Structures are given as structure tokens and as C-alpha cells.
Amino acid sequence: MSKAVGFEKLKEILLEQDREDRNELAQKLEELDQQLNDKEKLEERVNPILTDQEGALKKNFSGLFGPQITESIKKQIKESQDEVVEVLYPIIGRMIKKYITSEIEKLSEKVDAQMELAFSWEGWKLRIKAWVSGTPQKDMVLSNLIEPKIEEIYVIERNSGILIGSYSKKESLDGDMVAGMLTAIKAFVEDAFSADAQELESIDYENYKVIIKSFKSFFISVVCSGGMSTAFKDKLDDQLLSFAEKVLIKAKDGEEAEASQELISSGLEEHFNAFDDVTE
Amino acid sequence: MSLSKKVILIGHFGVGKSSLVQRFVHQKFSDQYITTIGVKIDKKVVQVDGFDVTMIIWDIAGEDSQKKVPVSYRLGAHGALYVFDLSRPSTYENLQSELDYLNQVIPGIPVQILANKMDLVNDTEREDILDSLSLEEVLETSAKTGLHVEEAFQRLAKKMV
């Protein structure tokens, strides 16, 4: 055996294990390469891990990120308090108003139900009063709880929308312009939706109601707040008719327009100043 | 002595009616009303011959024909301002027939015609247009510069008293 052949033989004997290890490693690398580059195989391996992680994240999300999120929201609110109040105030204000009104209505229904069962003197008294006036019992309780009030009255010339008299308990918008806008809204609604001379009778706005009573040459708009009971509406109707009969017709006969307007406004005050106190 | 008068402000879309009112009065209601119900109300008190005339101005949404304006908005009007745009022929091409129609639906009320946006045309163009219209008492106005705006309302108030 030559020296070279012997050396080769020795190398083969000594490095056989290394060669096998290298081949095995190459095979494993190839498998790994296939797994990484083959989308399906990679998904097969990674998906279960991701699903586990996702589940764990969902389970522990509030614990992991809750404090940071809360802190961040608190910081944002603190830094922009005015903006938050500006956005939330009208919404919350309206919600509270609506909630209270609705709760009082529910309460009045409950009171009504209770009173029907009760045989107390008060119950009988209210029942007799309701029977005599023809007003539903719940309306009487409701009107006692959230009293309806007249806020403003406008007497307006029917076609032109010119204000011919007004009455208000508080400082309000310019009466001439309100009268014009009310006439325009009334005309718009009647043109758009009515047939055969039907007329707009009321406008609801949150806790306010504008009651419109039309006469031949003028109409009266009454802005009311609170819970409207049938008794209140009847009383208001009667007062408006009596006002129209006594004051308006008399004023219309007057020669001077200004004198008429003054007469109508003072007539309104006289007629309706104590109206809320005698609604019952 | 005071009087209240309803004035309707009419004319095509974009002729500058609302801008004229804006020049004339301090507006209280938003222009949104015009797009919502087709009209917006404004008010201005002017003095005419010892009278305080409260002009309730109905700024009516622009239409290419007066026939499209809701009848109820014109009812009871004591006077009208008809506005056209000197820089847009389509706004005054049918002016005479529009005025005839107006006279038919609200007869007897004074109508002041306003040739607005006079700042957008030169003297020759303006004269040519007004000659071709051959109308009496057209007042040239510019809501942009304020020229003759006050006078336009004053003139109508005088005719209404």
C-alpha cells in the first residue's frame, strides 16, 4: 500500500462520522429552507403558534394594555376638558331632560294606576274632579307634576307674516323676525304637505310646543313649555277664542295700526298674564 | 309713527340677493334657512317722511322663473325688490315677462328693480344692457362695494308708505 493510499484510508476512517453529520445537517437545512419558502408549510407550522398567542393576547389584553389606555384617555380628557364638555354637554343635557320628562310621565301613569285602586278621599276627590271636567285622571296628575306654562304669544297677520301683537315673559328674539319665520315655516309645511286647506296646528321642539291657532286674517302662535294636558289645551283654546273675539276684532276696527298693535299686546298681557296660575 | 311692511326679495339664483340684504341689515338668522325652507327673514327699520318703516325682508331662494316661487311666500307683500346680475344675461333676458307675471300675481305693489354686480361690468356694457331692457327706474347696485344698496331699500320704502 502506498503512503498516499494509506493516508486516504486513514482519513476515511477518522472523518466518517463528521461526513455523516454534515450530510444530516445539510438535509435538515434543506428541509428548513423548504419550510420557510413554502407558504403552505410555513403556515402549517406558524398558524398554531399565532392562534395560541392571539388567544393569550385576547385573554390578557385588558391586563396588559388597560392601564396604559386608561392613562392615555385620562390625559387626553384632562388636556382638552373644554372640547369634551362642549361636545358632551348638549347631548347629556338633552338626554337628562328627555329622561326626566319620560320618567315623570311614567310616574304619572303609576300614580293613576294606584289611584284607581285606592279608595282614599284624595283619590275620590281627584276622580270626581276629572269626571266633572272630562279630563283624564292621568292628565290632571301630570299637569300637577310638570306644570305647562305659556312662554310667548305672537299674533301674526296671516298672509304677510307681519307681527300685530306679542307677549313674552322673558327676553326673547326679535318678535318681527320670529313672526316672519313662523309664517314662512307654516306656509312651507302647508304648501308641501297639506291638501284641501289643512293647516299646521303645532310644532314640537324638545320640551317646547308651539300651538298655532288660525283665524281668518291672522293666526296666533303660543309657545308653551312643560307637560301639555288636555285640560291645559282646552283652557288655552277657550282663552284664545275669547281673546280673538274681544280684543282682536276690536283692535282691527281701529284706525291707527300702531294703536291696534299696542291694544293687542296689552290685551294679550291682560288675558294671559295670570293664565298659568288658573290652569286648573 | 311706525309701520311694518313685508318686502320680498326675488330674482335668479346667484344674483346677489342675500349679499344685498347682508349689506343692508345686520342679519340674525342663518342663510341655512334659505336652503331648508326656501326663505329667510330679515328686518330693517328705515325713516321715510317722518315714518319709521319696519321692513320685514323675505329673502326668497333664487329661481330662474317666478312661477317656481311658492305662492304663499309672496302673499301679503307690500313691496318687492327684483334683482338681476349685470354680468349674467340669463338673469335679465326674460325680465319683462317676469315683471308682468309678478304684476299679475301680486298686483299694485311697488317693485324696485336692481341691476346688481355693477362692479363686474364696464360703463359701456352697463349702458348697453340697460338700454336694451328699456325699463324705468332701474337702480344699479353693488353688494360688494355697497353702492346704492341703502338707496335701493330707501326708495322702495318711500314707494310703500
Residue scoring higher pLDDT (B151 or A75): B151
- Across A73-77, A184-188, A247-251, B98-102, least confident range: A247-251
Look up the CATH number of the domain holding residue B108: 3.40.50.300
Q: What's the confidence (pLDDT) of residue B155?
A: 95
Q: What's the confidence (pLDDT) of residue A71?
A: 86
Please write the tens of the pLDDT for every residue from A218-240.
899 999 988 777 778 888 888 88
Taking residues A205-214, report their average pLDDT. Answer: 87
Is A262 in the B-facing interface, judged by CB distances under 8 Å?
no
Question: How many domains is chain B partitioned into structurally?
Answer: 1
Cα separation, B76 vs A220, in Å, equals: 17
Please write the tens of the pLDDT for every residue from A33-81.
888 888 888 888 888 888 888 888 888 888 888 888 888 888 888 888 7
* Statement: residue A263 has pLDDT above 90: no
Return the DSSP state at A220: E
For residue B38, give how far its alpha carbon lies from the nearest alpha carbon of chain A (Å).
Answer: 8
CB B43, CB A174: distance < 8 Å: yes
CB contacts of A258 in chain B (<8 Å) are 1-2
Q: What's the confidence (pLDDT) of residue A256?
A: 46
CB B143, CB B16: distance < 8 Å: yes
CB B120, CB B76: distance < 8 Å: no
CA A266 to chain CA mean position, Å: 38
CA A186 to chain CA mean position, Å: 25
* Statement: residue B75 has pLDDT above 60: yes
For residue B73, give how far its alpha carbon lies from the nearest alpha carbon of chain A (Å).
Answer: 7
Q: What's the confidence (pLDDT) of residue B118?
A: 93
Verify whether the Cβ–Cβ distance A185 to B77 is below 8 Å: no
Verify whether the Cβ–Cβ distance A161 to B56 is below 8 Å: yes
Cα separation, A218 vs A162, in Å, equals: 9
Q: What's the confidence (pLDDT) of residue A217?
A: 83
Find residues 56-115 of chain B whose CB sits inside 8 Å of chain A.
56, 58, 70-73, 75-78
* Statement: residue A32 has pLDDT above 60: yes
| Residue B93 half-sphere exposure toward CB, CA atoms < 13 A | 6
Residue numbers of the domain that contains B30: 2-160
Please write the tens of the pLDDT for every residue from A172-208.
778 898 999 999 999 988 888 866 668 899 998 877 8
* Statement: residue B51 has pLDDT above 70: yes
Confidence of residue A280 (pLDDT cuts 50, 70, 90): very low
- Across A84-93, A247-256, B17-26, B152-161, least confident range: A247-256
CB contacts of A159 in chain B (<8 Å) are 72, 75-76
Is A184 in the B-facing interface, judged by CB distances under 8 Å?
yes
- Across A11-25, B36-50, B95-109, least confident range: A11-25
Q: Which stretch, A5-9, A80-84, A90-94, A208-212, has highest mean pLDDT?
A: A208-212
Q: What's the confidence (pLDDT) of residue B29?
A: 65
Cα separation, B4 vs B52, in Å, equals: 8
Taking CB atoms and an 8 Å cut-off, how many pairs form between chains A and B? 68
Q: What's the confidence (pLDDT) of residue A233?
A: 85
Q: What's the confidence (pLDDT) of residue A123?
A: 67
- Across A58-72, A182-196, A248-262, B134-148, least confident range: A248-262
Q: What's the confidence (pLDDT) of residue A102?
A: 76
- Across A23-37, A125-139, A149-163, B17-31, least confident range: A125-139
Radius of gyration of chain B (CA): 15
Q: What is the value of ipTM here, to two decimals?
A: 0.88
Q: Which residues lie below 8 Å from residue A219, measured CB to CB, with a gap of 6+?
A: A155, A156, A158, A186, A212, A213
> pTM score, two decimals?
0.65
Please write the tens of the pLDDT for every residue from A110-144.
667 666 656 666 667 767 777 787 777 666 666 55
Q: What's the confidence (pLDDT) of residue A253?
A: 59
* Statement: residue A278 has pLDDT above 60: no
